[in-house]
Chains A and B, each alone.
Chain A
Amino acid sequence: MSILLLTSIFLPLAGAILLPARRERARGVALLTALLTLALAVVLVGCYPGGTAPFAKTDYTWLAGSGVPLDVRFSVALDGLSIWLYALTALLTVVAVLISWEAIAEQAPLFYRLLLILETGMLGVFTAQDLFLFYVFFEFTLIPLFFLIGIWGSEERRYAAMKFFLFTLAGSMLTFLGLLAIMLWDFYHPIGTPAPWKMTFSIPELTTRYAARPMDPAMQMWIFLALFVGFAVKVPLVPLHTWLPLAHVQAPAAGSIDLAGVLLKIGAYGFARFSIPLLPAAAAAAMPWILILSVAGILYGALVALAQSDIKKLIAYSSVSHMGFCMAGLFSANRLGIEGGTLQLLSHGLATGGLFALVGMIYERYHTRKIADLGGLARRLPVLGFFMAVMTLSSIGLPGTSGFVGEFLILIGLFQRGWAETLPPDALLRTLSVLAVLGVVLGAWYMLWLYQRVFFGPVREPQGQSHREGDSPIFPDHASMVPEKSGQSPQPPVRDLNLREILALAPLAVLIIWIGVYPRFFLDRLAPTMNQLTAGMRQAETRLERTKDEIRMTKECRISKCRMPEDSTDPRFPPPRPFRHSSFDILSSFGFRPLSFAKPQAAFSPLIPHPSSP
């Protein structure tokens, strides 16, 4: 199995290197490579046993040598969190190659090369079991995408490529410092008798070690913030989302598919892989904030999507909204919510990937993405209309499609938390849960409205759609109204989807329905890992609550001048730092202090002996 996983990661890279220089051959080889990779991924998914143990693990020494303490390893494996994202990447690359078949005429070999290199990067991100291997792949994905957007994008491609790259890089550089801090803190707090001069970068190992002796909460908060910046830009959470619409709209269709389908997931994946398990106290403390940002994203993305006149831009903003759901699910600290959030990552990848592919196909036919230029396409292009309907309905979250399962689980999770699981009722959580539901309604509104305007009503097609050759076809400034009943437009009719395009979309549609009808197959595989995550987060949260209670009691104690924990001379239990009882007070509640890895402080211990306890 390990060898299959390793092969599937590097096969695309090998394909990219060996790609022939002629366009026809290049795309054939690219498709073959992508299909082989997908086949390997399917075999791996089929053999995946479930459970929490890493599957198909490969582990090589990379950087360590005599005298080099950095034990960066080449270590890859699959687990419940990564398996579906891994498979999604392999699938979407095939789709991306298929839909670029005709659309990419210029420098085609280079295009497929970059697409395959990007695939290696994305597969690597999801399978990396080493902190720095992850970061290497994480940043490496920027290079092929930068070229894909910049060379084959639309009008503002240069600006979009730069903005995308710089935004992501600026964020991920801080993430880089955060990861360094995680590694260094671990180094200075050995458990048992560690091998000297070795720094552990292994993610599973770090996770168990951090679970065994959690970091000081103030440190956690700092590192959480550092990681947050990079991952939140990727997701994107709302104030950091401005690169997204530009990059998605300007990218070629294949680039948009990879961006929306896979690259946005890397942010959420980073939160689930690093922030929550390694820094549970900070994650618990930051939870309300992240939920606020997520719900803000859900509503803001939906409202802005409503106002768009460009199909691609509308779908790009819908991604902001949907990714808000994923993040809300992940940070709901509820089993169902987290499972739903992870499933929604997959579902969003399928539906939005499909939508971007469809927009690409419409653009290929009409050279426009303006909603106002198009109308009644369901009559002209019934097959395209059918697939669009499937993707749209999944995006809305209609029962029976994948979107429903994901969003429903997320909302159930949020509601369970808001009503059943918080004993002092938390008005904020309840408000957020209700507002999140509003996002579903808005989602139905903008997506159905889009479908109605573009696919129903009188047929409306821009003139000059037959100008398929050449780089700059003449676009009419105004859309010409072709009466539906006349039927005989001056141009030859636009052809519907051909077999290649149907083959690109069919697997997406099948999976969407499959997840919608029988989600158990997917949930069973991701559940064990995600439950572990939930358990860790809940534990941290309980600790946080208990600490807050302790503090409150201490304060009350202080007023009544009773014996307090800080009078304790036991060095194991340092006096608690002042807390303010508000879930909003992230920073002040932990107190701003300079970073320190080395001075060992008592681990985050809520176990201050309560005076009243026996």
Chain B
Amino acid sequence: MTTAAVYFLLPEILVIATAVTIYVAGAFFHTQWGWGWLALLGTAAAAAVLALQSGRSPAPVGLLYSDGLVAFTRWLALNLAGLLVLLNFRPSADGGAPETLGSLLLTVAGTMLVASSQDLVMMFVSLELISIPTYVLLYLGRRDALNQEAAAKYFYLSVLASAIFLYGLSFLYGVGRSTNLEAIAAALSALEQTSPAFVSFAKLALVLIVAGLAFRLAAVPFHFYAPDVYQGTTHANAALLSVIPKAAALVALLRLGWWAMPGMENFAWKLVLILSLLTMTLGNVTALWQDHLRRLMAYSSIAHAGYLLIGVAVALAGRNASPAVFDGWTAVFFYLCVYALATIGTFAVWHYLGGTRSVEGLDELAGLGKIRPTAAALLALFLFSLTGIPPLAGFWGKLQIFAAAMNAGGGPGGGETGLWFTVLAVIGVLNAAIAAAYYLRIVGVMYFRIPLGAPRTEGDRGALLAAVACAALLVAFSVLPGPLVRASSQAQPHVGQVANLSHDADAP
């Protein structure tokens, strides 16, 4: 490793070093407090280094990318890390604070590395860097049968998903004859001419990769774990599960499907589009019947994975057409940001309300508008944003997503593709209306019903701070969405680079 590479990876190194420090020190100092400060410090240091780097863009080093996608993912991951650390600031009654925070930081480092991996093996390892700490987190959260079931379920299914993903990567390796993404891209773009018989293997690889990542996205039909796992774990863990693996999976999907597998787009967008249709419809419709808060949010997160996949489908379909506007990338990442803020905020409010006894059922929120007006107002803000009511940031996300779909539907692509995307947009907006029903139900319970029982005890200040931070950011992005739109639009890597490299590869 050269100095340049170390400097480039310094943010990730700092995050991992902080995690390791917390793990090790946790074994010696038997205190439950103060670890949150350390974690925040590590995150802030990583962010500072990232800010220093952002001035000049370092050239790709070794097995790493350093394009817009990497920069965006790193910033997103670090910001999410800050919010999630705040959410986990107060140790749970069972202890385990250092382990919780260390594992959390490792998942964040994994997400940051997924974006910059230029190698199949490194990408797989980065994704595992997210999965394995998550198993630990799930075990740490609570100590009851439901939690054990959730952790075991997540563990086995996640391992299975990783295996499927790896199987897909092995096919990709077979077709591309390299583990380097650039080499694979070059090989695939030449595939039609050199060995057309291999095209079906590339498609098989794509299907397996999408399946493996769909588990992390909680997309149908790999969503079955989500409701049980969310229900069985804590609010803080559910917040992490609904954001971090999704972000990493989206980045990996776009990196592999869009960047590294040229020529597969026409197959890929259809696959993603169908997944998207199924995911959002199933998530939204099933959420209507849920009474358990985290279970409801699990279905909500499934539904939002569906909306995100709309953007991915548009991005894939537009890879060659390269539409002048609404390329899908902006939509995906803008939506991801506002979804993450609203979801983390929702769980943070519940975590805050929990105090000593966790809020579980919908009925426990009855009359919250009267007894806890601030918490109720924050929660209502997050839920309306998830619904996508203007002028909240969720609306701008929906605007981007559906505008992208409509543009793919009637834009230069046209034809049969167009019809598909128009149908997707129509079903998408109808889904948004269905989703309103269950979000509103929560708001209705909070404001339209009389309180049951005594007011809840004062909860965790850190969680409240996280909720307020999410709300402040959401309101800021609601009033001025421009900066975030611009930032998201810069996440798209430039396709010209792949083409040049492929020529280079063909030359010898």
Could you list which residues of chain A lie within 8 angstroms of chain B, going by C-beta atoms? 62-70, 107, 132, 135-137, 139-140, 142-143, 146-147, 150-151, 157-158, 161-162, 165-166, 169-170, 173-174, 176-177, 180-181, 183-185, 187-188, 197, 199, 594-599
Chain A residue at smallest Cβ distance from B387: A169
Contact indicator B402/A165 (Cβ below 8 Å): no
Give the CA-CA distance A64 to B447 in the complex, in Å.
37
Contact status of A173 and B430, CB under 8 A, knowing A180-B402, A598-B410:
yes
A161 → chain B closest CB, angstroms: 7
29 A-B residue pairs with CB within 8 Å = A63-B481, A64-B482, A65-B485, A67-B486, A67-B490, A68-B485, A68-B486, A69-B325, A70-B485, A136-B391, A137-B390, A139-B395, A151-B369, A151-B447, A151-B448, A162-B441, A165-B436, A169-B432, A174-B426, A176-B429, A181-B406, A183-B403, A184-B410, A185-B410, A187-B325, A594-B409, A594-B419, A595-B409, A597-B407
Chain A residue at smallest Cβ distance from B370: A107
Contact indicator A62/B390 (Cβ below 8 Å): no
Contact indicator A180/B406 (Cβ below 8 Å): yes
Contact indicator A596/B418 (Cβ below 8 Å): yes
One of B410, B411, B413, B437 near A166 (C-beta < 8 A): B437
Chain B interface mostly:
helix
Contact status of A139 and B410, CB under 8 A, knowing A63-B482, A65-B485:
no
Contact indicator B448/A158 (Cβ below 8 Å): yes
Nearest 10 pairs between A and B by C-beta?
Answer: A597-B410, A136-B390, A170-B433, A173-B429, A594-B419, A595-B410, A150-B448, A65-B482, A598-B412, A69-B325
B489 → chain A closest CB, angstroms: 5
Contact status of A169 and B436, CB under 8 A, knowing A142-B389, A597-B411:
yes
Give the CA-CA distance A595 to B409 in the complex, in Å.
7
Give the CA-CA distance A597 to B449 in the complex, in Å.
48
Chain A residue at smallest Cβ distance from B478: A136
On chain B, the residues within 8 Å of A157 by CB distance are 448
Within residues 400 to 453 of chain B, which ones have a CB less than 8 A from any CB in chain A?
402-403, 406-407, 409-415, 418-419, 422, 425-426, 429-430, 432-433, 436-437, 440-441, 443-444, 447-449
Contact status of A170 and B414, CB under 8 A, knowing A162-B440, A594-B419:
no
Contact indicator B324/A197 (Cβ below 8 Å): yes
On chain B, the residues within 8 Å of A197 by CB distance are 324-325
Give the CA-CA distance A85 to B429 in the complex, in Å.
29
Chain B residue at smallest Cβ distance from A597: B410
B483 contacts partner chain A, Cβ-Cβ < 8 Å:
yes
A165 → chain B closest CB, angstroms: 6
B384 contacts partner chain A, Cβ-Cβ < 8 Å:
yes
Chain A interface mostly:
helix
On chain A, the residues within 8 Å of B369 by CB distance are 151
Contact indicator A188/B411 (Cβ below 8 Å): yes
Chain B residue at smallest Cβ distance from A593: B419
B476 → chain A closest CB, angstroms: 14
Give the CA-CA distance A388 to B391 in the complex, in Å.
39
On chain B, the residues within 8 Å of A67 by CB distance are 486, 489-490
On chain A, the residues within 8 Å of B422 by CB distance are 594-595
B10 contacts partner chain A, Cβ-Cβ < 8 Å:
no
A-B pair number, CB within 8 angstroms: 125
B469 contacts partner chain A, Cβ-Cβ < 8 Å:
no
On chain B, the residues within 8 Å of A184 by CB distance are 403, 406-407, 410-411
One of A62, A66, A180 near B486 (C-beta < 8 A): A66
Contact indicator A598/B414 (Cβ below 8 Å): yes
On chain B, the residues within 8 Å of A142 by CB distance are 389
Contact status of A140 and B391, CB under 8 A, knowing A107-B370, A147-B447:
yes
Contact status of A594 and B418, CB under 8 A, knowing A62-B482, A65-B486, A67-B490:
yes
One of B370, B426, B441, B485 near A63 (C-beta < 8 A): B485
On chain A, the residues within 8 Å of B490 by CB distance are 67
Contact indicator A135/B440 (Cβ below 8 Å): no
A258 → chain B closest CB, angstroms: 18
| Known contacts A68-B489, A162-B441, A169-B436, then 5 further A-B pairs from the complex at CB < 8 Å, ordered by chain A residue | A69-B324, A166-B440, A176-B429, A185-B410, A598-B412
B190 contacts partner chain A, Cβ-Cβ < 8 Å:
no
Contact status of A146 and B440, CB under 8 A, knowing A140-B390, A595-B409:
yes
B399 contacts partner chain A, Cβ-Cβ < 8 Å:
yes
One of A137, A162, A199, A598 near B444 (C-beta < 8 A): A162
Contact indicator A180/B403 (Cβ below 8 Å): yes
Give the CA-CA distance A161 to B414 in the complex, in Å.
41
Contact status of A169 and B433, CB under 8 A, knowing A68-B489, A157-B448:
yes
Contact status of A136 and B395, CB under 8 A, knowing A151-B447, A170-B433:
yes
Give the CA-CA distance A536 to B448 in the complex, in Å.
47
B417 → chain A closest CB, angstroms: 10
Within residues 349 to 391 of chain B, which ones have a CB less than 8 A from any CB in chain A?
369-370, 384, 389-391
On chain B, the residues within 8 Å of A140 by CB distance are 389-391
One of B325, B370, B402, B413 near A199 (C-beta < 8 A): B325
Give the CA-CA distance A68 to B399 in the complex, in Å.
13
A137 → chain B closest CB, angstroms: 8
Contact indicator A135/B485 (Cβ below 8 Å): no
Chain B residue at smallest Cβ distance from A185: B410
A494 → chain B closest CB, angstroms: 30
Within residues 43 to 97 of chain B, which ones have a CB less than 8 A from any CB in chain A?
none
On chain B, the residues within 8 Å of A137 by CB distance are 390
A227 → chain B closest CB, angstroms: 13
On chain A, the residues within 8 Å of B447 by CB distance are 147, 150-151
On chain A, the residues within 8 Å of B485 by CB distance are 63, 65, 68, 70
Give the CA-CA distance A188 to B407 in the complex, in Å.
10
On chain B, the residues within 8 Å of A177 by CB distance are 402, 406, 425-426, 429
Chain A residue at smallest Cβ distance from B443: A146
On chain B, the residues within 8 Å of A143 by CB distance are 384, 389
B307 → chain A closest CB, angstroms: 13
